[in-house]
Amino acid sequence: MHDLTQEHLAQAIGVNRQTILAIEKEKYIPSLDLAFKISRYFGVNIEEVFISDEKTPTITDT
Amino acid sequence: MTPSGRSFSMKKNTFYLIIGCIALTLLFIFWYSVELHTALLIEIAFIVGIALVYLAKTKVTDIINDERDVKITEQATIRTMQVFWVVFCAFSIGAVMEILHVPEIPREPPSIRPPVLLPPRMMGYIQLALLCLMIFLYVGFRIYYAKKFGDFETDEE
């Protein structure tokens, strides 16, 4: 959908590329602050990027 | 910022080079300190060396320490301290018993001999072992948590 690389997104929100990869792979649950940064970057609401299955919030495909 | 508006900054490769230089210098000072039989020299040098490393780290521009890195460091540190304080306290309790000269089993008749203290050389070896244990524990836990929080994940594409 987006012509966007992990590196570009990581630079834009001030984290390492590996952190973006870890979130995608559901290895790391981002803080609320970082989750808001990611959703703001895509210009959508936070629940459109992340879903919570009551146990672990996971990132959805955007 | 300096008056000219430019601040000193460096790339991470320069930072690693500085760390290498500091480590080599400390090694030389350690050797010199042993030659002179002066522990104070290496102690002061170690504190100054670590302070320089922290100072240099603040000037690096291309190392991003994000919240995941902080979490990995935090978890590794907590686990290391949890194991370390148990080992350290176990050793310390033993040392305190030596100082108080707690009677052994079977109970000996009241003794007037002075408490047996560990010789300083032995204390040094034990401290060295504890230091090594702490380093190995920290590295081990850091690798574990880095793996747990996706440090070794790769793209499938």
B 50-79 residues inside an 8 A Cβ radius of A: 64, 66-69, 71
**Residues B96, B100, B104, CA angle at the centre, nearest 5°?**
100
Q: Measured between alpha carbons, how far is B101 from B113 in angstroms, rounded to an integer?
A: 9
Distance CA B19, CA B13 (A): 10
Question: Using CA atoms, how far apart are residues B47 and B45, in angstroms rounded to an integer?
Answer: 6
User: What is the ipTM for the molecules in this complex?
Assistant: 0.77
pLDDT of B111: 58
pLDDT at B51 over 70: yes
Higher pLDDT pick, B93 / A3: B93
Per-residue pLDDT tens over the stretch B52-92: 999 998 888 877 788 999 999 999 999 999 999 999 999 88
Q: How far is A14 from chain B (nearest CA, A)?
A: 7
pLDDT, greater one: A30 or B94: A30
| DSSP letter (8 states) at residue B119 | P
* B119 has a pLDDT exceeding 80: no
Are the C-beta atoms of A21 and B155 separated by less than 8 Å? yes
Shortest Cα distance, chain B CAs vs residue A40, angstroms: 18
CB contact under 8 A, A18 and B153: yes
- What span, in angstroms and rounded, lies between the C-alpha atoms of A55 and A36? 19
Highest mean pLDDT among A25-29, B44-48, B150-154 belongs to B44-48
Q: Is A15 on the interface with B (CB under 8 A)?
A: yes
Domain layout of chain A by residue ranges: 6-59
Identify the pLDDT of residue B5.
Answer: 47
- Give the ranges where B3-154 is alpha helix by DSSP (H): 12-36, 39-58, 67-100, 120-148
Q: Would the CB atoms of A25 and B149 count as touching at under 8 Å? A: no
Size of chain A, expressed as the number of residues it contains: 62
| Length of chain B as a residue count | 157
Q: Do B69 and A14 touch (CB under 8 A)?
A: no
Average pLDDT, integer, range B120-149: 90
Query: What's the pLDDT at B92?
Result: 86
Give percent of chain A with pLDDT exceeding 70. Answer: 81
Is 50 exceeded by the pLDDT of residue A62?
no
Radius of gyration of chain A (CA): 11
pTM: 0.73
pLDDT tier for residue B2 given thresholds of 50, 70 and 90: very low
Residues facing residue B67 across a β-bridge: none
Say if domain A6-59 classifies as CATH 1.10.260.40.
yes
Chain A residues close to B67, C-beta within 8 Å: 15, 19, 30-31, 33-34
Distance from CA of A44 to the nearest CA of B (A): 22
Query: A28, B149 in Cβ contact below 8 A?
Result: yes
Contact A6, A20 (CB under 8 A): yes
**Rounded-to-integer distance, Cα B135 and Cα B46, Å:** 16
Contact B64 A14 (CB under 8 A): yes
Q: Is A22 close to B151, i.e. CB distance below 8 A? A: yes
Residue B102: what pLDDT? 63
B144 CB neighbours in chain A (<8 A) are: none
